[in-house]
């Protein structure tokens, strides 16, 4: 079904590390371009492929890396420190964990030309599809398809039935089968290019659909890790990166020029010193909780042990906390920068506007705190599909 001109990752080791550093260096030069045009272009996606980002969640049996979550997310955090929106697009290098629920033969076809594959999913609103012999006829419009401008494969959400126990189906199509509807007119995470996609009576074979969050047909540690929790984490980590970038900027200008009113240099002001220190402590604490819970749960996945619901709830809690703390720290850094930061051309605008977005996502909104508390108390959470 899928036929694309695949870009292949550099071999593991120094060559791939160099490719990753090259991608970061190029991003410094081009992040304003990406923000202005509203998407990360395919030629830069190819640089991320060479750096191994888009084989990170491909099963090892099909030539991928199936990286542990912490190793992958630290790379996304690094990218987000330079440009959070590009980090958001790169974070979907994790999304092939969903595709592990496809039939093994379909996955074999999917990766026949190589394991480096970019996937963009626009799952909502779920649409009713027409069941036909061998598959579905699919029409509709789906929102928030982040990274669709550089995707090799697009997934859309279909309403499930009794056979899926009410869980949504995802149908996979080639980009040329879908129309991208440009509508991404936002202030934060602008470069994610999260446009709508439209399908008009497209036939999707049954074997190219899967239940979102369904049982994987691949038995490797990454696919035993809780998938929906991981989906929340890879978005939350962009807020950690945004906050890190914002704080690094405030450190860099701390010894800069005096105030236009003639006041002391920023770094000499008591409020600047204490504000910077408190923000640093807050960010590092949230980050430690985030990766601690990740590694604890992945260790259970590696051992093949059952992962208690309470542990998954802690992963979700750590993700939400990271998103909200990232937002707070970026705002505190903005405050430290003073009046100059209000200008659209100021570097802090990138970090602030992008850092505001992750905590707005349904996976990370304030309601997930209450849901996590409910699980820890042995109660039923009100948030759907939690944890």
| Backbone torsion region of residue 227, taken as left when φ is above 0, otherwise alpha when ψ lies between -120 and 50, otherwise beta | alpha
Tokens of 183: 């509508």
> Which of 5-9, 84-88, 146-150, 316-320 shows the lowest per-residue confidence on average (mean pLDDT)?
5-9
Task: Place 264 in a pLDDT band, splitting at 50, 70 and 90.
Answer: low
Higher pLDDT, 370 or 267: 370
| Separation CA 191–CA 188 (nearest Å) | 8
Residue 296, pLDDT above cutoff 80: yes
User: How close are the terminal C-alpha atoms of the chain, in Å?
Assistant: 34
Per-residue model confidence (pLDDT) at position 256: 56
Tokens of 93: 């290098």
Q: What is the DSSP string of 208-266?
A: GEEETTPPPSS-SGGGGS-HHHHHHHHHHHHHHHHHHHHHHHHHHTTT-PPPTTS---G
| Separation CA 4–CA 6 (nearest Å) | 6
Q: Radius of gyration (Cα) for the chain, nearest Å?
A: 21
Helix (H) / strand (E) containing 387? none
Task: Place 231 in a pLDDT band, splitting at 50, 70 and 90.
Answer: very high
Per-residue model confidence (pLDDT) at position 300: 98
Tokens of 31: 């992040």
Per-residue model confidence (pLDDT) at position 164: 75
Backbone angles phi, psi at 209, to 5 degrees: -125, 155
Mean pLDDT on 220-226: 97
* Average model confidence (pLDDT) across the chain: 94
Give per-residue pLDDT as tens, 132-161: 999 999 999 999 999 999 999 999 999 987
Give per-residue pLDDT as tens, 273-287: 999 999 999 999 999
DSSP structure class, residue 365: S
For 379, half-sphere exposure in the C-beta direction (CA atoms, 13 angstrom radius) is 9
Residue 260, pLDDT above cutoff 90: no
Higher pLDDT, 272 or 358: 358
All residues at 6 or more sequence positions from 367 whose CB lies less than 8 Å from its CB, including other chains: 382, 383
pTM beyond 0.85: the answer is: yes
Angle (CA) 46-79-179 rounded to 5° is 50
Per-residue model confidence (pLDDT) at position 261: 55
Mean pLDDT on 238-262: 81
Which residues on adjacent β-strands are paired with residue 136? 131, 204
Per-residue model confidence (pLDDT) at position 350: 96
Q: In 3-state terms, what secondary structure has residue 22? A: helix
Tell me the residue ranges of DSSP E strands in the chain: 119-127, 130-132, 135-145, 153-158, 169-173, 179-181, 195-205, 209-211
- With beta carbons less than 8 A apart as the criterion, state whether 61 and 218 touch: yes
How crowded is residue 309: how many other Cβ atoms within 10 Å of its Cβ? 15
For 73, half-sphere exposure in the C-beta direction (CA atoms, 13 angstrom radius) is 23
- With beta carbons less than 8 A apart as the criterion, state whether 364 and 320 touch: yes
- With beta carbons less than 8 A apart as the criterion, state whether 322 and 74 touch: no
Per-residue model confidence (pLDDT) at position 205: 97
Per-residue model confidence (pLDDT) at position 2: 56
Tokens of 10: 């550099």
**Residue % of the chain over a pLDDT of 90:** 88
Q: Which domains does the chain have, with CATH numbers?
A: 14-110 (1.10.540.10), 119-211 (2.40.110.10), 225-376 (1.20.140.10)
For 362, half-sphere exposure in the C-beta direction (CA atoms, 13 angstrom radius) is 10
| Separation CA 112–CA 18 (nearest Å) | 27
């Amino acid at each position: 079904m899928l036929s694309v001109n695949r870009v292949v990752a550099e071999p593991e080791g120094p060559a791939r590390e160099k490719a990753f550093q090259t991608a970061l260096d190029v991003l410094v030069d081009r992040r304003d371009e990406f923000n202005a045009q509203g998407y990360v272009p395919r030629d830069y996606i190819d640089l991320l492929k060479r750096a191994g980002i888009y084989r990170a969640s491909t099963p090892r049996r099909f030539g991928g890396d199936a990286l542990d979550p912490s190793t992958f997310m630290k790379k996304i955090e690094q990218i987000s420190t330079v440009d959070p929106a590009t980090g958001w697009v790169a974070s979907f290098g994790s999304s092939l964990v969903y595709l592990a629920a496809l039939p093994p033969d379909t996955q074999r076809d999917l990766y026949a030309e190589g394991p480096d594959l970019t996937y963009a999913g626009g799952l909502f609103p779920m649409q009713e599809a027409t069941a036909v012999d061998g598959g579905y006829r699919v029409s509709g419009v789906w929102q928030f398809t982040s990274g669709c401008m550089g995707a090799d494969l697009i997934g859309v959400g279909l309403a499930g039935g009794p056979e899926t126990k009410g869980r949504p189906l995802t149908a996979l199509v080639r980009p040329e089968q879908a129309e991208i509807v440009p509508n991404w007119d936002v202030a934060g995470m602008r470069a994610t290019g999260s446009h709508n996609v439209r399908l008009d009576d497209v036939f999707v074979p049954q074997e190219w659909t899967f239940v979102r969050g369904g049982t994987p047909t691949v038995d490797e540690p990454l696919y035993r890790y809780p998938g929906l929790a991981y989906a929340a984490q890879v978005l939350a980590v962009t807020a950690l990166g945004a906050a890190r970038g914002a704080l690094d900027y405030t450190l860099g200008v701390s010894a800069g020029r005096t105030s236009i009113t003639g006041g002391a240099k920023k770094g000499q002001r008591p409020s600047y010193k204490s504000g910077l220190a408190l923000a640093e402590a807050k960010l590092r604490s949230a980050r430690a909780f985030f990766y601690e819970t990740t590694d604890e749960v992945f260790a259970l996945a590696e051992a093949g042990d059952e992962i208690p619901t309470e542990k998954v709830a802690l992963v979700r809690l750590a993700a939400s906390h990271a998103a909200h703390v990232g937002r707070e720290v970026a705002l505190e850094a903005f405050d430290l920068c003073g009046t100059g930061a209000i200008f659209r051309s100021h570097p802090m605008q990138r970090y602030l506007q992008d850092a505001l977005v992750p905590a707005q996502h349904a996976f990370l909104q304030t309601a997930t705190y209450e849901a996590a508390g409910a699980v820890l108390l042995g109660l039923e959470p009100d948030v759907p599909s939690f944890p």
